[in-house]
Structure 1
Amino acid sequence: MPDLVSVNYRKYDGSLHWNLRMRRLGEDDHGVWLGLPGGGVMRKGYGPMVPIACAHVVLLPRDAWWTAAFNAPPRETEIYCDIATPARWVSSHEVTMVDLDLDVIRKRADGRTLLDDEDEFAEHQVRYGYPADVVAEAEAAGRWLMEAVEGRAEPFGDASKAWLDMVDGERP
């Protein structure tokens, strides 16, 4: 029986956001790695299941204000980082964090790195009343991620390859 983990991203008001179940692959110096083969599903809140065509792995770093998804080809987004509160393990089979809207994305075709959803981040600062320290941590994480992802600093270089190989080609 695979070691499955419920991954629950929430919004600042506590409402359920993106959520899925992933297999625990292991842990290294970068954090905990979870995987989902192509054909797996996720859902937004309590909405319908959304199929995921390509395999991907998620890195949950220790005490960092982000998570990172590394996608198998041919997915056009190679890396997708959610700026979020540090992952909190509710149990060995459930992890949760608050999605703070900002995302850092690296495109596969040309390697461009983008900071996305700055407008949503600004809007949600007002809507949810993000405290100043949360805003500062999110902005600092965005700056750090832009530099690290663009510069291919680990874990944004080759660190994900072995983990992704563990799930690419599997069936959910």
Structure 2
Amino acid sequence: MSAQQPADQAFSSSRPTEPGTLVGCRMRKWDGTPHWRFDAVHLGQDEHGVWLGYPAGTRFSRPGREYRTRYPGVVLFGEVGWVADIYRDHPRGVRLYIDLTTVPEWRAVPDGGDGRGPAFEVSGIDMDLDVLAVQPGSERARAHGEFYIDDEDEFAEHSVRYNYPPSVVAQVRADADALLAAVRAGEAPYDGPTADRWFAVLDGL
């Protein structure tokens, strides 16, 4: 996706290279409001993008909400505008959760990697729409189907509140539809085995 970034954001293109390097994931909304934040470890990179992972018990937080996961996950930051979170043993049957975002931005953290915090950060603007794949027969599948786009109402509301440019609205909508089709078709990296390879890396750290 090529949604435009607010002009006041300037990040280095530095990225981690060593598996196990701690990375801070710092999402925000269009107006700069902090959104989900969590720390994960670098697993590697392939043709789909940069893969991070986190174990069960990882803390996720945003203003007004915080929780610790009861399951491990791998997170794929693509080279375009989306972030895919792929789960193993999710208690509510979610297999895949793709956040539509602006293009992820990477930077090395000054004095990072000294044991007190992440050595790198990746950030982006959450663009509201999400693409989900859930277990057949789960409560969510009965309510929405096994594959669906979520938070349409939030996207419509924020398009007005934050005055998203029409080109961004069109691009996010088109990307969501394309991702839904790819997930439904089981295309890589949403095919299962692709993520399993990165879960194996996470398990070995």
TM-score by length of 1: 0.91
Which residue does the alignment assign to 1:167? 202
In 1: Cα distance, 2:77 partner to 2:196 partner: 16
Which residue does the alignment assign to 2:81? 65
Q: How does 1:6-25 map to 2 (within 5 A)?
A: 6-25=24-43
In 2: Cα distance, 1:161 partner to 1:168 partner: 10
Which blocks of at least 5 consecutive residues in structure 2 are unaligned?
1-18, 109-118
Which blocks of at least 5 consecutive residues in structure 1 are unaligned?
none
Kept after mapping to 2: 8 A contact 1:55/1:168: no
Kept after mapping to 1: 8 A contact 2:188/2:194: yes
Aligned-partner residue type, residue 79 of structure 1: L
In 1: Cα distance, 2:171 partner to 2:87 partner: 26
CA drift at 1:165: 2.7
SS at match of 1:139: helix
SS at match of 2:56: coil
Q: 2:60 is matched with which residue: 42, 47, 63?
A: 42
* 1:32-72 deviations in Å (ceiling 9; x for gaps): 00000111111013x5641011000100011x121100000
Q: CA RMSD in A?
A: 1.9
Kept after mapping to 2: 8 A contact 1:35/1:167: yes
In 2: Cα distance, 1:114 partner to 1:90 partner: 33
Q: What is the number of equivalent residue pairs in this alignment? A: 168
Which residue does the alignment assign to 1:100? 127
Task: Please say which structure displays the higher CA radius of gyration.
Answer: 2
Kindly, what percent of the aligned residue pairs are identical? 36
Which residue does the alignment assign to 2:14? none
CA 1:166/1:88 → structure 2, altered by over 3 Å: closer, same or farther? same
Aligned-partner residue type, residue 43 of structure 1: S
